[in-house]
Amino acid sequence: MQTGAGNSAEPREVAAAAIVDAGRLLLAQRVSPPHLAGLWELPGGKIEAGETPADGLARELREELGVETVVGARIGSDVPLAGAMVLRAYVVELKSGTPEALEHAAVRWVDAEQLAGADLVPNDEVWLPELTALLESF
């Protein structure tokens, strides 16, 4: 049996990064599709066939934010997406670079209180308890 990305029996993974630095979490503002434009998300994207989730997420963050990262542990629960995809979040450490909005409208760092008031994309709202706990652990 095949395993990993490309196996039609497995949902394709979209990986999202909880990047925490100096007690704050990085949010990125989407530009598309229209119903998500302007809302804030954990940056990330689709894992390609043959990539590990860690490698694919690091690649997405390089492309989207211009940073080098170390992808750590899973956080929160899986979120099923349309089109046989699944969204998963990972704790990610910034290794070098300053995040820039290369593919987003903007990026910003938030503390726990600011996170609670942020207009998140609906999928990412399910991770609020874990993200808040993560921020409060720093």
Binding residues vs ligand DCM (CB under 6 A): 14, 16, 41-42, 44-46, 81, 87, 121, 123-124
Run of H or E including 70: strand 68-81
Q: Which residue, 81 or 105, is less far from ligand DCM as judged by CB?
A: 81
Longest alpha-carbon distance in the chain: 46
Q: Which residue, 1 or 117, is less far from ligand DCM as judged by CB?
A: 117
CB of 101 to ligand DCM, least distance (A): 13
SS3 percent helix, strand, coil of the chain, rounded to 5, is: 20, 40, 40
* CA separation for the pair 133, 130 (Å, rounded): 5
Q: Which residue, 85 or 112, is less far from ligand DCM as judged by CB?
A: 85
Q: Which residue, 48 or 111, is less far from ligand DCM as judged by CB?
A: 48
The pair of three-digit structure tokens given for residue 48, joined into one six-digit string: 């390609």
* CA separation for the pair 109, 37 (Å, rounded): 19
Q: Tell me the residue number closest to ligand DCM, measured at CB.
A: 123
CB of 41 to ligand DCM, least distance (A): 4
* CA separation for the pair 123, 137 (Å, rounded): 23
CB of 65 to ligand DCM, least distance (A): 13
Q: Which residue, 16 or 61, is less far from ligand DCM as judged by CB?
A: 16
CB of 54 to ligand DCM, least distance (A): 16
Q: With CA atoms as reference, report the closest residue to 81 among 34, 112, 121.
A: 121
DSSP state of 75: E
CB of 14 to ligand DCM, least distance (A): 4
